[in-house]
């Protein structure tokens, strides 16, 4: 940046260079920008991990993805989604007798209709005395939903 300095002796304006000031935002970190971004992203991931959040990428049709994007903004949507998933997929680890019936499966979750079919097909192997209240409620709920209230065993 140039400024003009007036001299009393010759009354001519002479250019004088001013101290160069860095352009843009002042530097607050000694690290290069890409390193700052890398560290910020790492900190964000650590915060999300501590909060119990994970990234789940899903490929959907355009209309379904637009609906999902809008639905995510609704209050209470996540709770409804969790309820839907709990109804649609049964966690085998939470039900001991179902876990025994799934001895040859490696998946943690079983579709609800498949769980009902497993109970019906293999009822003779279910130890009814060891059924927990939660598992008994699950069987009743599955029978209402898929068996018209009846477990054909």
pLDDT of residue 40: 96
Residue 91 phi/psi, 5° resolution?
-80, 115
- Give residue limits of the domains in the chain: 62-146
pLDDT of residue 134: 95
The structure's pTM equals 0.65
Residues 6+ positions from 48 with CB-CB distance below 8 Å: 54
Question: Which residues partner with 2 through β-bridges?
Answer: 17
Q: Where are the alpha helices (DSSP H) in 4-150?
A: 33-50, 62-71, 77-88, 96-101, 112-121, 133-146
pLDDT of residue 21: 75
For residue 103, give the 3-state DSSP assignment: coil
pLDDT of residue 13: 60
Q: How far apart are CA 147 and CA 126, in angstroms?
A: 18
CA 42 to the chain's CA centroid? 16
Q: Within 10 A of 59 (CB to CB), how many other CB atoms are there?
A: 6
pLDDT of residue 10: 58
Q: How far apart are CA 143 and CA 58, in angstroms?
A: 31
Average pLDDT per 10 consecutive residues for the chain, totaling 153 residues: 57 64 79 93 95 92 95 94 94 95 93 95 92 94 89 77
């Amino acid at each position: 940046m140039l400024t003009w300095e007036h001299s009393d002796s010759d009354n001519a304006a002479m250019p004088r260079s001013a101290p160069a000031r860095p352009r843009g935002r002042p530097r607050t970190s000694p690290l290069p920008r890409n390193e700052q971004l890398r560290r910020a992203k790492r900190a964000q991931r650590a915060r999300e991990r501590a909060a119990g959040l994970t990234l789940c990428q899903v490929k959907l049709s355009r209309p379904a993805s637009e609906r999902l994007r809008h639905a995510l903004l609704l209050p209470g949507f996540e709770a409804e989604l969790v309820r839907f998933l709990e109804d649609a997929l049964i966690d085998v680890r939470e039900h001991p007798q179902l876990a025994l019936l799934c001895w040859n499966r490696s998946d943690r979750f079983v579709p609800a209709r498949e769980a009902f079919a497993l109970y019906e097909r293999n009822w003779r192997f279910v130890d009814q005395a060891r059924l927990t209240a939660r598992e008994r409620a699950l069987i009743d709920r599955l029978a209402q939903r898929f068996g018209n209230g009846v477990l054909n065993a």
